[in-house]
Amino acid sequence: MPTTPVTEASSSPNGVPDSSNGVPEPILLELVDELGQTIGTAEKLSAHQPPGKLHRAFSVFLFDEQGRLLIQRRALGKYHSPGVWSNTCCGHPYPGEAPFAAAARRTYEELGISPSLLAEAGTVRYNHPDPDSGLVEQEYNHLFVGMAQAPPLPDPEEVGETVFVTPAELTKRHDEARFSAWFMSVLDAARPAIRELTGPAGGW
């Protein structure tokens, strides 16, 4: 079971820990060094304020049987990068929670999908300021690839829209629409594992 960042608290349906009196508790992220070793915790928003604190994150890439990638447009109510397109799912493990478990948990919470054949796809470290919000993504990101074998049922508070895209369709959409600052970093880092999953015919 994941270790929540607060004691005597339960998680609400959207994964935000709540205290017993119903007041949301601060969400804590796991701070890491350049080798990905845990060195402490920080409140979520403070970790993203300039210049940013290096913290653990994850990114998920799910594909259908035709080798198309499921991408999502982040809900307009998100405090960070609202309304932009990004990979299938991304987020932060709770302190002490395994990245693999967090990736599966959050994919289900946001999209109503339990990933199939979910596998590790390496890590990537990046520093991406978001020009719109002024927040900074200083992340040590664990990558995962897998299959989406059921239609997504997005939580509208988290996800505004979803679509499956081929490589060519993704390129066109990326040229025409706004994507998250971290999207290309995580996609490029995950490509070897994506190619292994989808095969040469997938075009990734």
Chain CA centroid to CA 199, Å: 24
Positions marked catalytic: 90, 139
Distance of CA 46 to the CA centre of its chain: 18
Per the DSSP assignment, residues forming a β-bridge with 143 are 59
Name the amino acid, one letter, at 182.
Answer: W
In Å, what is the CA distance from 183 to each residue of 9, 12, 60, 177?
A: 33, 28, 11, 13
d(CA 85, CA 180): 6
Distance CA 55, CA 118 (A): 22
State how far the Cα of 124 lies from the Cα of 18, in Å rounded to an integer: 31
DSSP assignment of 20-42? TTSPBPPPEEEEE-TTS-EEEEE
Task: Report residue 81 as tokens.
Answer: 């990068």
Structure tokens at 33: 């060094």
The two tokens of residue 147 are 């299959």
